[in-house]
Structure 1
Amino acid sequence: MFVKRFIRTALAMLCLSLLAFSGCSAEKGIPSPPSGKEQGASIKIGYSMGSTVQERWLRDRDIFVARAKELGAEVLIQNANNDNEEQMKQVRYLIEQGIDILVITPHDAEASAESVRLAKRAGIRVICYDRLIRNAGADLYISFDNVKVGELKAKALLEKVPKGNYMIIKGAPTDYNSFMLYQGYMNVLREPVNKGDIKIIYETSARDWAYEEAFSYVEQILEEGADIHAIIAANDTLAHAAIEALSEKRLAGEVAVVGQDADLSACQRVVEGTQLMTVYKPIDKIAKAAAEAAIRMVQGEDLKVEETIFDGTFQVPYLRLDPIAVTKDNMMDTIIKDGFHRLEDIFINVPREKWPQIP
């Protein structure tokens, strides 16, 4: 009898010790890995990208890799090309390569939860880069404030077109950013819509943020004789598509269009007058911060992230960065001053006598 009690007691103490060591969270129900590698130890980061179709993602990748290498880490890059099944295979491959941490920009916010679970089961922490993975309990979400991005775009449009017919081209329905952007739009537009000043007469989503989908949709409604005064496009690729469709009806510059990401072509359209504004998200900041956070997490450091975001099930630590609204008026003080794009590249289609003067 004494021996049985002794065994039961020993087993209980062992379980408690294991729980304490694993850092098991009652809220998440997912054990965190042990404290991490020592300073100076070789670190291998797996970076799974949903796509690199848009201009900005190549910049994100290159800056992230460069900063990680500066800090002595190796980065394994995989690009899923907007294919969720392929992204799952690539995450499995990265785990098999012995990565210490997984950084993932998901193609599908819901389906990618399985990628997080796979990494967690392998004792690997997960950072959601720019796009949140739903119901997964990732260890960190780092992004610009997507709700604020939506608000900045809607405010700029409302100032330019306080009354009229609006069209909204949302991003991919599989990307949770699309939901947050829309929340931002409506935070600004709800009151003028309720008053009847603004009518949202068309809404659509562009699968995989595809240019072709946005172009076809705008082209179609223009052929139907729609009277559109303003278009909110989820990003600059979709804004470009809308403006190209408008140009075929000689309406480019007549219909106010907004986007985000500050792609070079978008900045050119802004100074040329065919796009009202874009939202600048300094990629240098987010990519470097993500690389630094990944290494610190592997080394067991506390990032002291104070904010969280609800992923549908769990509260995820949220490292939030501020976006910047950019128009022709502040292009010099933002995009050009930061070196994000060069003045001569942005103003290439503008007569040189109309270029801003550099102090």
Structure 2
Amino acid sequence: MKSRSFLARGIRVSGVALVAGTLLLTGCSGGGAGGGNQSGAAGGDSEGVVKVGVSMPTQTSERWIADGDAVKEELEAAGHTVDLQFANDDIPTQTQQIDQMITNGAQVLVVAAIDGTALSSQLDAAGAAGIPVISYDRLIRDNENVDFYVSFDNYKVGVAQATALLSGLGITDADGDELSGRPTGPLNIELFAGSPDDNNAGFFFDGAMDTLKPYLDDGTLVVKSTQTDFDQVAILRWSQEGAQKRMEDLVTSTYGGGTVPLAGVLSPFDGLSRGIITALQNAGYGSTIADGLPVVTGQDAEVASVKLINEGVQQSTIFKDTRTLAAQAVKVVESIAAGEEPEANDTTTYDNGVKVVPSYLLPVETIYKDDIKSKLIDSGYYTQTEVEEGVVK
């Protein structure tokens, strides 16, 4: 289905309705289906200021707290009103919060969904009220009322994770170029994937598997458990406890309780990585990579995992700078508030099952121990003390 233009949706911004690209002077009486919005469903004041509902999935992960706070701070600095809510990984809570945002007159919604398929009625209500919906980092699926998507290049995240694993195993360098004299295997590895209700998890897994495939095919790498399908390795809700339990089960069923060599584990998120590492350490594989702990990858540069990388326990993480993602989301809101089409750099990749959603994708960086100072501390993302203690101050 062809993407709808913001200019063709009758969005009211700055007291002016934009209909099919034509500016029509309006009054303040056109309330939308949500009620309570006396200036129109997506209307702002004469300064182009809008009320933005920001829905984040949880506060159990530090990255979502950072995302929510960054979006709120930047929008408020630009003069907009923000209603920020965290849903604590509970789908009914998120649906209720978004319903309330619409009722309370939100004119734009920025939503990072817990379950990308569970918000249909809220999206329908937003569409009926002319409220643009920006899908934040996680693509919302199976509904036409998703107007824009801001995220990182999620396929490349998976490529970067697999490349980090290959580098840690001595097969390639950090850029993915094959090393001469590399091990020919077989090296045992295991695979983990993210939550099956998160659209990003599939992109991460596909990027990683496409990168690992040549070495799985030639026998350099072996998934000893034979669990290589996404559904076999996915961890619901990105649960650290779920990842630890699955790794413990694999150690028992496949690795002789820790007596069979395991070279590495593909992990798509730092929370999962910490659960995996705990299981491996408890099984006697070593406390650090230097003394035999398998290479474990990660994502999100959570400070607890950055501390582990600094200590030689976790091998790597993928840094998705929440500051740049929040800033891009704010740019999209600002474009909408100005009655303009937001800039997209991808209009073909992200099909949500009903339409291809115009997207802006940001680059990612791999963090190894040697990168912590230059990429995380010197940039102001963390302080040296936070890295050393593994806690954000």
Report the TM-score, using the length of structure 1 for normalisation.
0.85
Counterparts of 1:136-285 in structure 2, within 5 Å, are 136-137=143-144, 138-161=146-169, 162=171, 163=185, 164-200=187-223, 201=225, 202=227, 203-226=232-255, 227=260, 228-251=262-285, 252=287, 253=289, 254-285=293-324
Unmatched 5+ stretches in structure 1: 1-24, 350-359
Amino acid at match of 1:156: A
2:104 aligned to which of 94, 97, 106: 97
SS in structure 2 of the partner of residue 170 of structure 1: coil
Amino acid at match of 2:126: A
SS in structure 2 of the partner of residue 148 of structure 1: helix
Counterparts of 1:54-93 in structure 2, within 5 Å, are 54-93=61-100
Structure 1 residue ranges (4+ consecutive) displaced by more than 3 angstroms after TM superposition: 25-31
| Identical amino acids, percent of aligned pairs | 27
Contact 1:35 1:299 in 2 (8 A): no
Q: Return the alpha-carbon distance in structure 2 between the equivalents of residues 115 and 77 of structure 1.
A: 16
Counterparts of 1:294-333 in structure 2, within 5 Å, are 294-308=333-347, 309-333=350-374
Unmatched 5+ stretches in structure 2: 16-45, 172-184
Q: Using a 3 Å threshold, how does the CA distance of structure 1 residues 36 and 114 change in structure 2: closer, same or farther?
A: same
SS in structure 2 of the partner of residue 47 of structure 1: strand
Matching of residue 37 in structure 1 with residue 14 in structure 2: yes
Size of the aligned set, in residue pairs, is 325
Moved more, 175-184 or 75-84: 75-84
Contact 1:128 1:141 in 2 (8 A): yes
Q: Return the alpha-carbon distance in structure 2 between the equivalents of residues 241 and 340 of structure 1.
A: 24
- Name the residue aligned to 1:343: 384
Q: Return the alpha-carbon distance in structure 1 between the equivalents of residues 325 and 361 of structure 2.
A: 9
Deviations along 1:277-328, whole A, 9 cap, x unmatched? 0011111111122123213213312223241222222111111000100101
Moved more, 99-108 or 310-319: 310-319
Q: Return the alpha-carbon distance in structure 1 between the equivalents of residues 72 and 379 of structure 2.
A: 20
Q: Return the alpha-carbon distance in structure 1 between the equivalents of residues 55 and 385 of structure 2.
A: 34
Amino acid at match of 2:305: A
- Name the residue aligned to 2:26: none
SS in structure 2 of the partner of residue 208 of structure 1: helix
Aligned CA RMSD, in angstroms, stands at 2.0
Q: Return the alpha-carbon distance in structure 2 between the equivalents of residues 29 and 77 of structure 1.
A: 26
Contact 2:13 2:48 in 1 (8 A): no
- Structure in which a larger fraction of residues adopt helix: 1
Amino acid at match of 2:215: P
Q: Return the alpha-carbon distance in structure 2 between the equivalents of residues 55 and 294 of structure 1.
A: 24
Amino acid at match of 1:210: S
Q: Using a 3 Å threshold, how does the CA distance of structure 1 residues 168 and 303 change in structure 2: closer, same or farther?
A: same
Report the TM-score, using the length of structure 2 for normalisation.
0.78
Moved more, 31-40 or 192-201: 31-40
Q: C-alpha displacement at 1:120, in angstroms? A: 0.7
SS in structure 1 of the partner of residue 371 of structure 2: coil
Q: C-alpha displacement at 1:199, in angstroms? A: 1.7
Moved more, 314-323 or 288-297: 288-297
